[in-house]
Amino acid sequence: MHGAMDAAELSAFLDREFPQVSGDFAIERLTADGIVMRLKVGDRHLRPGGTVSGPNIFALADVAVYLAILARIGPVALAVTTGGGIDFLRKPEAGRDLIGEARILKLGRVLAVGDVLIRSEGREEPVARANMTYSIPPKR
């Protein structure tokens, strides 16, 4: 594989490869088995009623698992999501960023599987739980 990436390298990669969304996310820290990411919630992330929209919650899960994989295999831009599921457990608390804690459960040559617990910042109860599967392109 290409080699591990640290938080600064992951942030630079996100800015370079995904500038359309990179400003929405921040890496809080890398962990032994994954990453902790923040969705910087703004008005554009809200749906009527003032809660964070489902697609934005899913995006946090997707980006978190993607970067957790890249932290281990290096800058493979063409790793792609092949499957994902999410359970919305409770309404996110208004006015708080969302924090996603992703774990890599399996990292193989071709597939990677991870899960994410998403909470409103400062709260213990999760607002969502997601599972994601990624396809890793073959080395050339």
Predicted pLDDT at 100: 98
Q: Which residues of the chain have pLDDT under 50?
A: 1
Predicted pLDDT at 46: 80
Within a domain: residue 72?
Answer: yes
Burial 101-133 (b: 16+ CB within 10 A, else e): bbbbeebeeeebbbbbbbbbeeeeebbbebbbb
Within a domain: residue 2?
Answer: no
Of 78, 70, 103, give the one whose Cα is nearest residue 2.
70
Within a domain: residue 140?
Answer: no
Mode of pairing for the β-strands spanning 25-30 and 34-39: antiparallel
Within a domain: residue 121?
Answer: yes
Task: Look up residue 38 and give its two tokens.
Answer: 């923040």
Predicted pLDDT at 30: 97
Structural domain that includes position 67: 7-135
Predicted pLDDT at 3: 67
Look at the chain and report how many structural domains it folds into: 1
Within a domain: residue 87?
Answer: yes
Predicted pLDDT at 56: 93
d(CA 110, CA 29): 26
Q: What is residue 108's three-state secondary structure? A: coil
Within a domain: residue 127?
Answer: yes
Predicted pLDDT at 1: 41
Predicted pLDDT at 43: 76
H-run or E-run covering 13: helix 7-17
CATH code where residue 131 lies: 3.10.129.10
pTM of model > 0.85? yes
Within a domain: residue 90?
Answer: yes
Within a domain: residue 1?
Answer: no
